[in-house]
Amino acid sequence: MPGATKRKRRTFGNTWWGKAWVEALEDRAKLDPNRLPRGRTYARKGTVSDLAVDTGEVTARVQGSRALPYRVTIHMRAFTGEQWESLLGMVGARLGHVAALLDGELPGELAEDARAAGADLLPGPGDLRPKCSCPDSANPCKHVAAVYYLVADEVDADPFVLFLLRGRPREAVLAELRSRRAPASAPGKRVRAPAAPGVDPKRAYTRRIAALPPRPAVPGTVGPPAVLDLDPPHRTGWSGDTFAELAADAAARAWELLVMGPGEETELSFEEALARRAAGRPDTIAELAEAAQVPARELAAWAQAWGEAGRGGMAVAREVWRPGQAPLVRAKADLAESGLPGEPKTWRNRITQGDLQLRYGRDERWYRFVRDGEGWRVDGPSSARPADVIYPP
C-alpha cells in the first residue's frame, strides 16, 4: 500500500543483561526450541497480562484460544546459602560491581564472575520450573514461553530482578553488601566512626601563615593515565579504552599548559582543539572529521600544520592578511640572497620563491611552507627571523 510505513518488530532484551536472559533461555536452559518461537509470537501479540515478579517466582495471565486467560506460574531455583556467600563475597570485594548495580547496570564481568563462583544469575538446565493451567503438557507451552520473553523487559528495567528470582530482593542484597564493608564489632554494639582530625578555631586564626612551598618541577614527560577497574555503564555507549584515551589527551594538554611561556594564549578554539587532537592521533582523523562535521582533507591539513608549528602554524595555514611593509621587505631581501631559483613574489603576508614560501603570522613570526602538489604545507617550526626558516637547522 503506497505511503504505508513498516512497523518495527518487537524485540526482547534491549540491554546487555536483558539479551543475556533471552540467550540463556534459548541456548543454555535447554528449553524446547520448537515452543519458544510460538511463545515469542504470543508475547508480541500482547496476550500476556498481570505479569509480576516476586522472590523466586513469576506469575502472569496469558490469553489463549479460550475465553478465560490461562494462569502461568514459573519458579526459578533459589541459591543455597553457600552460593549466596560466594556471590556476595565476590560482588562486595569489587566496588565497581556494587556501583554498577546501584546505577541500574549489570556488568558482563559481574555475570561472568558470578558464574565462575558457582552462582550463575542466569537460568541453566533445570533452573526453571513452570506451571500453566492450559491442557498442553509440553515444557514449556507457548503461554509459559511468552512469559519467559516478557521477563526480559523486567530484567532490562532492573538487573536486581535476577537476584530476586534467585531468592533475595534488592534491599536484602544491598544490606548484605553494606554489612560486608562495615568494620567488625561485637554483637549488638554499634561502631562509631573515628572523629575527624581538626584544629581549634581560635588557634587556627591566630596562627602565622607559613610560606608557600616551592613549586614542584614540571615533569619531563606526560605520565600514563589510570586504568579503570570497570567499564562505564553499558547504556552510556562509552568504554574504558575511550576514557583512557581522553584522560591521556587531557594529561598531555595539562603538561602543555605547564610548559607554556608567559603571555601565551591558553584557550583553544573549537578548530584548534580539533586540530591538536588530530595531530596527536592521525589515525583518528576520519572519525574526528565525521563527528565534528569538518571535511577530512581540511582537518588533515590543520593537523599537519599544528603538528609542525602549533596554533601559529595552523593560523597562517588558514588565514591571509595584510601586514606592514617592513617585515616583508626584510624577508624578501633574505630570500633574494638565498640562491633559490626565480624571483621572490609577495602577496599579502606571503612571499614565494620557487617551491619555498614564507608566511608572516599575526604573532610576528615567520613560517616555512613547501609546495605539496597543488598546495602548500607547513615545514617546521616558526622563527622571529626569516633567515632561520629559509635555512632551517
Least confidently predicted of 55-59, 61-65, 220-224, 344-348: 220-224
* Average pLDDT in the chain: 86
pLDDT for 138? 81
CA distance 65 to 82: 44
Question: Could you report the per-residue pLDDT of 3-24, keeping only the tens digit for each?
Answer: 444 456 678 888 888 888 888 8
> What span, in angstroms and rounded, lies between the C-alpha atoms of 301 and 370?
13
pLDDT digits (tens, 9 = 90+) for 102-141: 777 888 888 888 999 899 999 988 899 999 999 988 888 9
AA letter at 44: R
User: pTM of the full predicted structure?
Assistant: 0.48
Rounded CA separation 256/6 (Å): 54
Q: What is the pLDDT of residue 3?
A: 46
In whole angstroms, give the CA distance from residue 122 to residue 112: 10
Mean of pLDDT values over 44-73: 93
* Residue 232 pLDDT class (50, 70, 90 cuts): confident
Three-point CA angle 30, 31, 32, nearest 5°: 120
Check pLDDT > 60 for residue 191.
Answer: no
